[in-house]
Structure 1
Amino acid sequence: MLKQRIITALVLLAVLLPAVFAASSWPFAVLTLILIAAAGWEWARLNARAGESRLLPLVFGGAVAAACAATLAGLGLEPPPIWCWWLASSIWVLGGAFALRGGPTAWPHASHALRLVLGALALWAAWMAMVQAKAIGINFLLSVFCLVWMADVAAYFGGRSFGRRKLAPSISPGKSWEGVWSGMIGVLILAFVWVHVIEVQFTVDSPSLYQLLARQGWVVSLLSLLVLSAMSVVGDLFESLIKRAVGAKDSSRLLPGHGGVLDRVDALLPVFPLAMALSSLSLIIT
């Protein structure tokens, strides 16, 4: 299993890194469009009705990718209206809280059409936000990715070391409140190092998310980082809720040793639109 995970990770990095560091945003947009199509297929499989044709998840994944591509064709690399980011973030905050409160037993009782629409909107918003983040700059894009990764890694080690109080035992028994706090502390440390070391010692092509938040003052920056860290947990728990509702261990087996695409991007789904919403305020101020 470990060998599989390492090989898959190396292959993904070999494909992803050239697209991330390409001068143009188009290679990254195309590559992530393929990943979003796969995530759409997984979402439809997880939310399939009994006896449903196996072709429908493929159609759904293709439809999500087509909607993303149509948006890109219409807007190019121009950002959508700022209210789109705030609307997507609001849906995540309110809808995520509602879904997590209901737990795995309530999710299957939601309308099938509603579940598919929510999945399509979440994937579309996250993809658009990632493409726009790349258009802002590599430094900005990486700062958002690293926020999610730091929150996850710090929460894992903090939870193993100090975890006592379960966060959501019916959804993800391994997660604890201590892990959440550890993830938040890790993100705050990362932001400080990024602004005061990385962006000082190295030449970067754009301001990071942390730099843009810092322009609004330390109170707003602190609160924003805590909220972003919390939403990464919400994204992770939300996918775990869906898998537990249908008795699935992974969203698919597309990535040997890692599960599916959704298993790797679940925490990114709410964070990227919210990061774009919060940073847009700094860009306006600037």
Structure 2
Amino acid sequence: MLKTRVITALVLLAVLLPILFLLPAFYIGAFFLAALLAAAWEWSTLLAPQARWAAWLYALFCLAIILFLLGMQNASWQFALLLLSVIFWFFVAPFILAKGIDLSLQKLRPFYVVLGLILLPATWFSLVFLRELGLVFLLTSIALVWVADIGAYFVGKAFGKRKLAIQISPGKSVEGAIGGLVLSYGYALLCVIYLPFESTLFGAWAIRFGWVAMFLMVTVLVAFSIFGDLFESQLKRLAGVKDSSHLLPGHGGVLDRVDALIPTMPIAALLAGFV
């Protein structure tokens, strides 16, 4: 399993790194689009595993929404989509997560169908927007999620005792979440100190609003990266599956890899808009 995970990761890096550093920004947008459409396909298969043909239509519908909003050439429409996504994560997702697995996927299927058509396109637009602010701006924003996840994993493994959401994800602990947050604070601090202020979200917030506001922002982003992870885990448990798909050997599905980005990137994009 470890060998398979490593091989898959190396192949993805071999594709992604040249796109990031050697090709125009259009190509990274195309890469993100392919990833989000794959995630949309997986989202549909979780909701209706027997209707594989519907999953392809669902991915095409996500693509149609993205192309329509691009064709409108009206930033306010894209902003509205991001805002809808952020409103969901702040005001609806906590109540859904609080239910654990005491939910009926069959009854909620129409809700999840519509929800995916908001969250997934919003994630793509936020990634593209952050890339427009600069490659370093994009990468440091994404890396915050990875740092939080790495910190949570190792601290949770070493010191985790109190379960964060035992019904949804028994492996996650309160201690791990705190460890991930503390490591994220250190990461953001290093970004502010060693990178130009305007080149990262953390530096831009520190210079505009001060250190306290910057650390509060990091807290919010890390908290919602955990929300995204838990939300996808909850959906998989309701669907009765371990992974969203087997598209990435050794890693599960694309949705398994981007779940924490789905809430954090739209929030980061809106926060970047303030500065």
Class of the TM-score when normalised by the shorter of the 2 chains: over 0.9
Q: Distance in 1 between matches of 2:217 and 2:71?
A: 32
After superposition, what is the alpha-carbon deviation per residue over 1:198-227, rounded to whole angstroms, capped at 9, x for unaligned?
448xxxxx6211112212111211111101
Contact 2:69 / 2:77 at 8 angstroms: preserved in 1?
Answer: no
Is residue 2:116 matched to residue 1:119?
yes
Aligned in 2, Cα 1:15/1:274: closer, same or farther, shift over 3 Å?
A: same
How do residues 138-149 of structure 1 correspond to structure 2 at under 5 angstroms? 138-149=135-146
2:205 alignment partner in structure 1: 213
How far did residue 32 of structure 1 move?
A: 1.1
Identical amino acids, percent of aligned pairs: 41
* One-letter amino acid of the counterpart of residue 57, structure 2: V
Contact 1:159 / 1:182 at 8 angstroms: preserved in 2?
Answer: yes
After superposition, what is the alpha-carbon deviation per residue over 1:35-87, rounded to whole angstroms, capped at 9, x for unaligned?
111111100010117xx5320011101211222233234339x6856454333
1:64 alignment partner in structure 2: 62
Contact 1:88 / 1:125 at 8 angstroms: preserved in 2?
Answer: yes
- SS of the residue corresponding to residue 37 of structure 1 reads helix
Contact 1:34 / 1:65 at 8 angstroms: preserved in 2?
Answer: no
* One-letter amino acid of the counterpart of residue 95, structure 2: F
Q: Distance in 2 between matches of 1:199 and 1:133?
A: 16
Aligned in 2, Cα 1:82/1:42: closer, same or farther, shift over 3 Å?
A: closer
Q: Distance in 1 between matches of 2:78 and 2:39?
A: 25
- Single out whichever of 226-235 and 30-39 deviates more from structure 2: 30-39
Contact 1:20 / 1:134 at 8 angstroms: preserved in 2?
Answer: no
TM-score, reference length from structure 2: 0.94
Aligned in 2, Cα 1:216/1:86: closer, same or farther, shift over 3 Å?
A: farther
Is residue 2:244 matched to residue 1:247?
no
Q: What stretches of structure 2 of length at least 5 have no aligned partner?
A: none
* One-letter amino acid of the counterpart of residue 242, structure 2: K
After superposition, what is the alpha-carbon deviation per residue over 1:128-148, rounded to whole angstroms, capped at 9, x for unaligned?
100111111101100111100
How far did residue 243 of structure 1 move?
A: 0.6
- Single out whichever of 264-273 and 14-23 deviates more from structure 2: 14-23
**Paired residue for 1:262, among 255, 260, 265?**
255
How do residues 180-219 of structure 1 correspond to structure 2 at under 5 angstroms? 180-199=177-196, 207-214=199-206, 215-219=208-212
Is residue 2:234 matched to residue 1:236?
no
1:271 alignment partner in structure 2: 264
Contact 1:155 / 1:179 at 8 angstroms: preserved in 2?
Answer: yes
* One-letter amino acid of the counterpart of residue 13, structure 2: L
Q: Distance in 1 between matches of 2:264 and 2:235?
A: 19
Aligned in 2, Cα 1:83/1:213: closer, same or farther, shift over 3 Å?
A: farther
TM-score, reference length from structure 1: 0.90
Contact 1:148 / 1:232 at 8 angstroms: preserved in 2?
Answer: yes
How far did residue 110 of structure 1 move?
A: 3.9
Q: What stretches of structure 1 of length at least 5 have no aligned partner?
A: 201-205
- SS of the residue corresponding to residue 167 of structure 1 reads strand
- Single out whichever of 147-156 and 67-76 deviates more from structure 2: 67-76
Contact 1:99 / 1:107 at 8 angstroms: preserved in 2?
Answer: no
- Single out whichever of 182-191 and 79-88 deviates more from structure 2: 79-88
- SS of the residue corresponding to residue 172 of structure 2 reads strand
* One-letter amino acid of the counterpart of residue 114, structure 2: V
1:203 alignment partner in structure 2: none
Note the aligned Cα RMSD (angstroms). Answer: 1.9
**Equivalent pairs, count:** 274
After superposition, what is the alpha-carbon deviation per residue over 1:5-60, rounded to whole angstroms, capped at 9, x for unaligned?
111111111111222224632101111111111111100010117xx532001110
